[in-house]
A and B are shown apart, each in its own frame.
Chain A
Amino acid sequence: MDGQPSPPAPPVRAGRRWIVALLLGLVGFTAVIGSSLLGTVAIPVRTGVEILLHQMSGGALFPAPCAGTGVSVAHCGALTFIVWNLYLPEVLLALIVGAALGISGGALQGVFRNPLADPFLLGISSGGTLGAAILYVYRIQEAHADLFLPLFAFVGATATGLLILAVARGRYSSVETLLLTGVAISNLLSALLSLVLLYNPVGGEQVTFWLLGSLGSADWEVDGIAFGIVLALGTVLALYGRELNLLQLGSDVAQSAGVDAPRVRLVVILLASLTTAVAVAFTGIIGFVGLVSPHIVRRVAGTDYRVVLPGSAAVGAIFLLTARDVSYLAFPSSLLPIGIFTAFAGVPFFLYLLLRQRRGTTMGTT
């Protein structure tokens, strides 16, 4: 009997569960409000909070938000616009995109049985970017770009996902194969992207923004579209928890227990690519959220994919929001691409995982 016994899950009574949920909701709400005060323009805390609560309550709370703070009416209007139409949508988009990347990462790690799977590392994000770049550079459907952007990103991301599935066929649980496949495909896509940009410099700055990842495109309409799609896809994806649990025992065992492994793999990769594509379409390439989030969930809540999938969405949302806040706190007046910050947090973590792999430690047990 080697190894340490796992701690049994403490029984949580239904009542306590509600209290925990309520507290978490409160903390989340506070985080959203607080984050919405952060940006390139400094917002006085009290004024900002009052404006937000005023807007959220439809005017019922703080009927005159700036009144007590000596801010002029015109200035108040400007602040309201900034907080309500720029910062809050950005915060919400960070949550939506973080959740999308988190759950995609969790699903990809499950389906490839590989702890280093991540939409960014596998090149799925790059595939989405290439699709989006083609749309922009060639000005296809310019009038309905908001709708066609996710579609093009999706085609690019999904094609990449399927390509990986085909290339790494049967060997994707090997860390080396999967990573090398990802590197190769990412490089191919970068080359294609450079080609597109070289011949069509118009629209190039838009594409550069994608390459580094940014929440700058956020507005209420974008948030609405992104939220709808991510919620729908995430819900379906989260229903594959049991299949992913069984796939961890190997394709054959899963098959013998009733999981149609090839079909489930295809469906989950399609859903994860689609979810990633939504993120890519609106914010560009944001790396490492999908890699880090599932690991945190597994560490805290165990390896059951019925928990890992929704948990990764939650942790991904928190991770990306934190990255956004940190970027504004560290560099208050500059608009730095958020992908840079997720990389700062993600790369050391990635290297740590890689080193642990090479030492042969079993994943998911810590």
Chain B
Amino acid sequence: MTGPTTLPALRVRHLSVRYGARVALHDVDLQVHAGEFLALTGPNGSGKTTLIRAALGFLPATEGAVEVFGRSVEELTVHERARQMAWVPQEEGLRDQVPLRDYVLYGRYPHHGRMDGESDADRRLADRILTDVGLGDRASDGVLSLSGGERQRAVLGRALAQETPILLLDEPTAHLDIGHQLDLLGRVRTLSRTRGVTVVAALHDLNLAARFADRIVVLSHGRRVADGPPAEVLSEDLLVRVWGIAADLGRDRRTGLPFLVPHQLVQASRRDPSSPFMGPVHIVGGGGSAEAFLRALTEEGFGLSAGALHLLDSDAEVAEALSIPSAIEAPFAPLGAEARERHRALLGAARAIVVCPFAVGPSNLSNLLDVLPFVDRAPTFLMSAPPIRERDFCGGEAEKAYRALSDAGATEVMDLGGLLGALRAVFPSSPSATQDGPRTTAERG
């Protein structure tokens, strides 16, 4: 992306938006090229809608600016903006039974002077647009007689009548069923391709974003945390980190596009914006050694993951009961490649690691060894009572592993109370310190 010769359709420069004390967007930098279909995604409250509204000039930038074809939005008049950007909201408050064609013609407003009426050319355009959005035969019906899916297509038609080079959509499919979601975004995709319209769509459905967008930008807590083609951006790590969900990522055999099947919420309180997310904290356990920690830390509000546990082990049962995502191996088998890979994924996503006082034998020695590469990435705590010497059933290997972990920077902790204190220091309760902060962003960038 060095020295593009053409002006980007939309350029977001170090944009910050604050509502009073709340930071909705923080230093977001972004370019959208002409003709591109960009999906803005991120959890609820991540700043997608704020970014779209700031681009439309509805919200003043606290810092930074949004430029449309090189001109700052704040310099443009409302009229000029409406000739550059059209907006499809999540739901439009239609309350009058306006005939559909008239409704679409409302979109011609920015092209008319005060005394102008609608011309025949305007009416022909409206009819062509209605055909494009699949409502060609409904032109004289009132908008209130349309179904939900049709209504959203009508809103798209009204926006298209503005004939703008840029189209901004804010969760346009939020209230639609899956069929109408695919239909609407498919039409937008086609229009973008055939007419070169630049599209920025806030979409919280990642599968839809991956399917239709050329590029995905992920926002989290008002910051841009990922940016790139869907296949590059979507990762299990990102899903845990940003959405707090464990999910399987696959690749659609027909389209070659990534798709995801979410299967567990890492932490329910992730959804509650008033309490900052403390986690994920990864618990390495086995043989019942982790039970008490899993329960106590969940009660204290920490978001947990666990591994690598054997099925039927009481640790695994507790983890399942508490809906804690875990790496699980078949009963009594040595930890296999698949379980270990998942274990490492969870370790990679963790922001703190706790190694429980389990008995170490040849079948689960890898649990200690797998932690080693992550010690310098997340604070790691070794539960040291009873001492490892008494729990080593593989001839000193476990003791050696403990020493290696300790040398790498892991902290030895004696009991649950000590652990809670240490973890609270990792996740201080001020929200700004617990966000996906600059550290993580810098790593991604």
> Which of A's residues lie within 8 Å of B, judged by CB?
1-6, 8-9, 239, 242, 245-246, 248-250, 252-253, 255-260, 302-304, 362-365
Contacts and interface: CB of A to CB of B under 8 A. Distances in A.
B95 A1 contact: no
B95 A362 contact: yes
A257 B96 contact: no
Contact of A249 (B77, B93, B114): B93
Contacts of B96: 248, 303, 364-365
Contacts of A252: 53, 58, 87, 89
A312 B341 CA distance: 73
Interface of B: 53, 56-58, 77-79, 81-83, 85-87, 89, 92-99, 102, 106-107, 109-110, 112, 114-115, 140-142, 144-147, 158-159, 162
A364 B83 contact: no
Given A249-B93, A252-B53, A365-B142, 4 more contacts: A255-B56, A256-B85, A257-B82, A362-B95
Given A4-B145, A242-B109, A253 B87 contact: yes
Contacts of B56: 255-256
A239 to B, nearest CB: 6
Given A6-B97, A256-B85, A257-B82, A1 B109 contact: no
Contacts, number: 100
A253 B87 CA distance: 7
B110 A258 contact: yes
B89 A303 contact: no
Contacts of B57: 255
Contact of A6 (B83, B141, B147): B141
B105 to A, nearest CB: 9
Given A242-B109, A258-B79, A260-B79, A250 B141 contact: no
Nearest to B147: A1
29 contacts: A1-B145, A1-B147, A2-B147, A3-B145, A4-B145, A6-B142, A6-B145, A8-B99, A9-B140, A242-B106, A242-B109, A245-B98, A249-B93, A250-B89, A250-B93, A252-B53, A253-B89, A255-B57, A256-B56, A256-B86, A257-B106, A257-B109, A258-B79, A258-B81, A258-B162, A259-B109, A303-B97, A362-B144, A365-B144
B1 to A, nearest CB: 29
Contacts of B93: 249-250, 253
Contacts of A256: 56, 58, 81-82, 85-87, 159
A249 B94 contact: yes
With most chain A CB atoms within 10 A of its CB, the pick from B53, B96, B99, B114 is B96
B82 A258 contact: yes
Contacts of B92: 249-250, 253
B283 to A, nearest CB: 47
Contacts of A364: 95-97
A239 B113 CA distance: 11
A252 B56 CA distance: 10
Contacts of A257: 82, 86, 106-107, 109-110, 158, 162
A260 B85 CA distance: 15
Contacts of B159: 256
A222 B300 CA distance: 79
B95 A245 contact: no
Nearest to B85: A256
Contacts of B77: 260
Nearest to A113: B95
A164 to B, nearest CB: 21
With most chain B CB atoms within 10 A of its CB, the pick from A242, A257, A260 is A257
Contacts of B107: 257
Nearest to A240: B114
Nearest to A242: B109
Contacts of A3: 142, 144-145
Contacts of B87: 252-253, 256
B164 to A, nearest CB: 10
B362 to A, nearest CB: 65
Contacts of A304: 98, 102
With most chain B CB atoms within 10 A of its CB, the pick from A1, A249, A255 is A249
A242 B109 CA distance: 8
Nearest to A261: B78
A5 B158 CA distance: 20
B114 to A, nearest CB: 6
